[in-house]
Chain A
Amino acid sequence: EIVMTQSPATLSVSPGERATLSCRASQSVSSNLAWYQQKPGQAPRLLIYGASTRATGIPARFSGSGSGTEFTLTISSLQSEDFAVYYCQQYNNWPRGLTFGGGTKVEIK
């Protein structure tokens, strides 16, 4: 099983600042990596797929990069609505399984 590790667990950022979230895979997943945002009491929302392609309707301040085992989600200028938990997900061995990282909580500093 491919293990996804996210860091940091919590990121304290001031509104308007840049946030950089990391995700590492235990083995190469090529570019088969997605990012999701989840707010309290809500289902996750797809942000990025293919490691760097924004999903429909996702603002340009969200960007993804990386391939193989190291990935980054960058939020260029945090807005109030961006404070949430972010999960990475690999789908390299789909459909035999999807695995998610443990999440990074982005909180207001």
Chain B
Amino acid sequence: QVQLVESGGGLVKPGGSLRLSCAASGFTFSDYYMSWIRQAPGKGLEWVSYISSSGSTIYYADSVKGRFTISRDNAKNSLYLQMNSLRAEDTAVYYCARDLPTIDYWGQGTLVTVSS
């Protein structure tokens, strides 16, 4: 069955960096577009970034452009999100998502907390 498992979340100080990973299994990862979507505590869903199946096309939300970098390694069935210059408003659960463009599979999420 399809599984998406995020890791790498944690507590980081403002201005710091963190790298999230998502391990995919149960499907041919290299055939699918992927996205990161986040949810601040008690708030709604916010799309963060998209990457095409080959990794050649990438988009970001304006709120993270220039600070976050999405990437993938199809040989390792893995998706990544490098987050730099983190701000308090980046505090959220980050979900790895299979993008169709509807999201048919989500990971369980990893919590990123940005606080001094």
Our verdict on whether A and B bind, yes or no, reads: yes
Given A95-B52, A100-B46, A101-B44, the answer on whether A44 and B103 have CB atoms closer than 8 Å is yes
Q: How large is the interface on B (under 10, 10 to 19, 20 to 34, 35 or more residues)?
A: 20 to 34
- CB contacts under 8 Å to B, within A59-109, are 87, 89, 91, 94-103
Docked complex Cα distance between A95 and B61 (Å): 11
Docked complex Cα distance between A81 and B46 (Å): 25
Q: Does B28 contact A (CB under 8 A)?
A: no
Question: A90 — nearest CB in chain B belongs to which residue?
Answer: B101
A residues near B35, Cβ cutoff 8 Å: 98
Docked complex Cα distance between A67 and B47 (Å): 22
Q: Does A34 contact B (CB under 8 A)?
A: yes
Which secondary structure dominates where chain B touches chain A?
Answer: strand
Docked complex Cα distance between A36 and B59 (Å): 23
Which secondary structure dominates where chain A touches chain B?
Answer: loop
Chain A nearest CB, measured from B52 CB (Å): 7
A87 touches B45 (CB 8 A): yes
A100 touches B45 (CB 8 A): yes
* Max chain A Cβ within 10 angstroms of own Cβ: one of B35, B45, B50, B102: B102
Q: Does B107 contact A (CB under 8 A)?
A: yes
A94 touches B108 (CB 8 A): no
B residues near A103, Cβ cutoff 8 Å: 44-45
B residues near A96, Cβ cutoff 8 Å: 50, 59
Q: Does A3 contact B (CB under 8 A)?
A: no
Chain A nearest CB, measured from B70 CB (Å): 12
> Contact string, B75-116, partner A, CB cutoff 8 A, digits 1/0?
000000000000000000001000111111011110000000
Given A34-B102, A95-B52, A98-B101, the answer on whether A44 and B57 have CB atoms closer than 8 Å is no
Q: Could you show 6 A-B contacts with beta carbons less than 8 Å apart? A: A43-B106, A44-B106, A55-B102, A91-B101, A94-B99, A98-B50
